[in-house]
Amino acid sequence: MTTTREPVQVRRHRETNDSMWRTLAQRDACIAKLVRYEIKLDKLRKLLARQTKALSKAKAAPLPQGDPLPPEMVKAVKAAMDDDPIPSFLDRRNLMADPKTKDLNAERRIVDKEKREAKLTGATRKMPLTGKAALDHIRHG
């Protein structure tokens, strides 16, 4: 069986045609990308204008001035800040000194040990009940 090669002119015509369609597709993709960028730039310009307007309003508006704190309250706050820079509700250093913490840690260790033993003995590997057995378990516990 012999195969015939296509003539050179036909091959060149087909390659040129393919190249033209490929170039047109690339052009269309670039145009679509340019349109997307133009839309994005328009949105960004509008956003920048809104932010500039809001910023100019914020600069023009005076800052609200509250009533001054009583001097004894200012002294108390400064004294508390000088003693300990961390507020008491954020301070976690004293948690270990709490006697409840030791009990909680011991309880957590016991629960972890029970879980480990259950895994080793296979207590957690039981297949779920199905059918009548599941209904009996739901009804009677």
Q: What would the pLDDT profile of 60-105 be if each residue is shown by its tens digit?
A: 777 777 778 788 888 877 777 766 667 667 777 666 556 667 777 8
| 82 falls within a domain | no
Count structural domains, the chain: 2
At residue 45 the predicted structure's pLDDT band, cuts being 50, 70 and 90, is very high
Residue 76 resides in a domain: no
Q: What is the pLDDT of residues 94-131, one digit of tens each?
A: 665 566 677 778 888 898 998 888 888 877 767 778 99
Q: What is the pLDDT of residue 129?
A: 85
Predicted local confidence at residue 90, as pLDDT: 75
What gap in Å lies between CA 50 and CA 39, rounded to an integer? 17
The answer as to whether 71 is a domain residue is no
What's the domain range around 49? 9-58
Residue matched to tokens 């040990």: 113
Let me know: does 101 contact 95? Beta carbons within 8 Å: yes
50, part of any domain: yes
Question: Does residue 26 lie within any of the structural domains?
Answer: yes
Domain-located, residue 131: no
Q: Is residue 100 one of the residues assigned to a domain?
A: yes
Per-residue pLDDT for 11 more than 60?
yes
Residue 36 has pLDDT above 60, yes or no: yes
Report the pLDDT value the prediction gives residue 100, as an integer from 0 to 100: 67
Confidence at 16, pLDDT banded by 50, 70, 90: very high
Q: Is residue 52 part of a domain?
A: yes
C-alpha distance from residue 70 to each of 67, 74, 75, 77, 107 (Å):
9, 7, 9, 11, 48
